[in-house]
Amino acid sequence: MNQYDYVIVGSGIAGLYTALLAKEQGSVLIITKGSIGDCNTRHAQGGIAAAISKNDSPEIHFHDTIAAGDGLCDEEAVRILVDEASDRITDLVNFGVPFDTLNGEIALTMEAAHSVPRILHAGGDATGEHIEVTLSERVHDSKIQVLEDCLATEILVEKEQVSGVRALDCRTSSVEEFGCRSLILASGGAGQLYKFSTNSEIATGDGVALAFNAGAEIIDMEFFQFHPTALRLPGVTPFLISEAVRGEGGTLRNTEGHHFMPDYTPDGDLAPRDIVARSIVYEMERTGSDRVFIDATHLPHKVTTTRFPHIYRFCLDHGLNVTKGLVPVAPAAHYMMGGTKTNIWGETNIAGLFAVGETACTGVHGANRLASNSMIEVLVFSKRIIERIGKGAETKAPPVSRSVEVHHSLSWRQVPEVLPAPSFSTLQQLHWDKVGIIRDIESLTQVADIMAAWQKSLPQPVDRPTYELSNLILCGRLVTEAALLREESRGAHFRSDFPHSLPQWQRHIVLVK
Residues of the chain with CATH 3.90.700.10: 230-332
| 230-332 placed in CATH 3.40.50.1860 | no
C-alpha–C-alpha distance, residues 356 and 340, integer Å: 9
* Cα dihedral 499, 505, 510, 513 in deg (nearest 10): -70
Reported as a single tens digit per residue, the pLDDT across 78-94 is: 999 999 999 999 999 99
SS3 state at 162:
strand
Label residue 13 exposed, middle or buried (CB < 10 Å: 0-12, 13-18, 19+). buried
**Bridge partner residues of 473 (DSSP):** none
- Please tell me the predicted confidence (pLDDT) of residue 395: 66
Cite the residue boundaries of each domain of the chain with CATH code 1.20.58.100. 406-512
Write out pLDDT tens, residues 234-289.
999 899 998 889 989 999 999 999 999 999 999 999 888 889 999 999 999 999 99
Tell me which of 181, 273, 307, 495 is the catalytic residue: 273
Q: Which residues contact 429 (CB under 8 A, 6 or more apart)?
A: 195
Q: Of 222, 135, 145, 211, which Cα lies nearest the Cα of 178?
A: 145
CATH number of 406-512: 1.20.58.100
Instruction: Give dist(CA 267, CA 252) in Å, integer.
Output: 13
Instruction: Tell me how far CA of residue 49 lies from CA of 113, 114, 291, 383, 385, in angstroms.
Output: 12, 9, 29, 17, 20
Length of the chain: 513
Q: What is the pLDDT of residue 394?
A: 65
pLDDT at residue 37, as a whole number: 64
Let me know if 278 is a catalytic residue: no
Q: Note the pLDDT of residue 203.
A: 96
**Res 77 pLDDT > 60:** yes
Q: What is residue 383's predicted lDDT score, i.e. its pLDDT?
A: 98
For 37-69, how does the pLDDT look when each residue is reduced to its tens digit (9 = 90+)?
A: 665 555 555 689 999 999 999 999 999 999 999
Q: How far apart are CA 224 and CA 492, in angstroms?
A: 6
CB 382 within 8 A of CB 288: no
